[in-house]
Structure 1
Amino acid sequence: MARRKKVYEGKAKVLYEGPEPGTFVQYFKDDATAFNAEKRATIEGKGVLNNRLSEFFMTGLNSIGVPTHFIKRINMREQLIRAVEIIPLEVVVRNVAAGSLAKRLGIEEGTPLPRPIVEFYFKDDALGDPLVAEEHILAFGWATQQDLDDMVSLGLRVNDFLSGLFLGVGIKLVDFKIEIGRIWDGDYMRLIVADEISPDSCRLWDIETGQKLDKDVFRRDLGNLADAYTEVARRLGVMPQREAGPTKPTLIN
């Protein structure tokens, strides 16, 4: 990473200028945050796991015709990605009532939803990433109606792919978040899946036991986060457990 120009640093990743125009190098950190970074820790090996898992999911999506920003993995913590213009919305797809949906509507956590629900949240940490309606998105020009239609379609296609993948290894996909970016091929603009797909951005429950295998382990102090992520990687055959490295969390004051 030496001498590279940093473009952006978020809570879990750093973007550096890529080797070619229109590319970035995305570096996965070991930092874990919750409640808009009010709770923080360093989970050794987390960045390695998320890099490998996100590569696995993005590669799978590319192979079935769902476009993503992923180009290739560079090493254990970095991947080469396409530069995109991120739409300032988080796209959340829910299959089971959990988290903010269960709390907001008074639904018992774990209640299956009659169909997948797609929600949009405005990306602004200072505001707590508030839930927004399509009318807000259109009124403030964050996306067009065609963008929204395409984002819903992308979210549901990702949901179908991930749900089947996890079901095959005994994991229930409760919900997940993706970000979507615009790219241009000449004068033609299209939307693609960006950011990452990992246990950081999904809720994953063991089908038999209900054990949580996602960032709720950290949010709710349910155990070792790296152990949970390693179990997801092991079931998917993504990475031997020994590659995850030490897993003891170190709290940051």
Structure 2
Amino acid sequence: MTAYTLGSLLYEGKAKRVFATDQPDLVAVEYKDDATAFNALKKAQLAGKGELNCRISALLFEHLASRGVPTHYLGVQGSQWMLVRPVRVIPIEVVIRNVAAGSLCKQMPIQPGTPLEPPLLDLYYKDDAYGDPLLTEARLDVLGLVTLDQRRELEELARRVNGELLTLFDGIGLQLVDFKIELGFTAGGELVVADEISPDTCRLWDRAVTDASDRILDKDRFRQDLGGVVEAYGEVLKRVQGACPEPRIYR
């Protein structure tokens, strides 16, 4: 027996569907098997991807909770469903880069693989219609998305997440190259980590592999047509399972 009844579809994104429930303080998220890249210009269906991302995200949310990091996560149910607290998501993607890779190396004269110390934190306006543009301080002021204090809180929480994930992944032989997260406010005004944390949103390299393609265990396998996407995500899950508390079953 479930402790809730599924309601209407609230939002459908590239990788997830978000549903209301009969409880105002509970939202259900379904992880899809859809794979997209380049602002959804490249698409595919990868059987099992949704289940893997749901499981990995749940494990990482459990780990962050055990370290005192606030998230929207409440538990899982079934293979592709996560139950979360409703949040007012800030339309800002927070990207933290520990190693230069991807678009950064196309936009700046930095060689791929260059360590970034301290990690580089960038903010992007989350809107596909505008191509998720980089936000400068002046643009943030114009848009009025967050106050100065909220921005500081947002960046502090994101850096805290980075620190926790760096330690976790390093312990299981993975290098956290970069990642993006979304944050939001609960009904009580608490800033929490929302959305997901998975190989869809993180660049992860196998530290034991030197080949620049073979070491990739994230969405870049899909972007670069390397194949083995589901297998790579499965390897991440296997390692994370050994280091994180088991996902709680929502009842």
- TM-score, scaled relative to structure 2: 0.90
Q: Note if 1:110 corresponds to 2:105.
A: no
Return the letter of the residue paired with 1:133. T
Match of 1:70 among 52, 69, 73: 73
Match of 2:222 among 190, 198, 218: 218
Return the letter of the residue paired with 1:213. L
Distance 1:4 1:142 in 2: 29
SS of structure 1 residue aligned to 2:98: strand
Distance 1:238 1:69 in 2: 23
The residue that corresponds to 2:247 in the other structure is none
SS of structure 2 residue aligned to 1:4: strand
Deviation at 1:238, TM superposition (A): 6.1
SS of structure 2 residue aligned to 1:108: coil
The residue that corresponds to 1:201 in the other structure is 201
Distance 2:28 2:94 in 1: 23
Deviation at 1:136, TM superposition (A): 1.2
Q: Note if 1:180 corresponds to 2:164.
A: no
Match of 1:161 among 164, 167, 172: 164
Q: Which runs of 5+ in 1 are unaligned?
A: 240-253
SS of structure 1 residue aligned to 2:112: coil
Deviation at 1:20, TM superposition (A): 1.1
Q: Which runs of 5+ in 2 are unaligned?
A: 244-251
Instruction: Say how many residue pairs are matched.
Output: 236
Match of 1:48 among 51, 54, 63: 51
- TM-score, scaled relative to structure 1: 0.90
Q: Is the 8 A contact 2:6 2:28 kept in 1?
A: no
Distance 2:160 2:21 in 1: 29
The residue that corresponds to 1:190 in the other structure is 190
Q: Is the 8 A contact 1:18 1:80 kept in 2?
A: no
Q: Is the 8 A contact 1:13 1:27 kept in 2?
A: yes
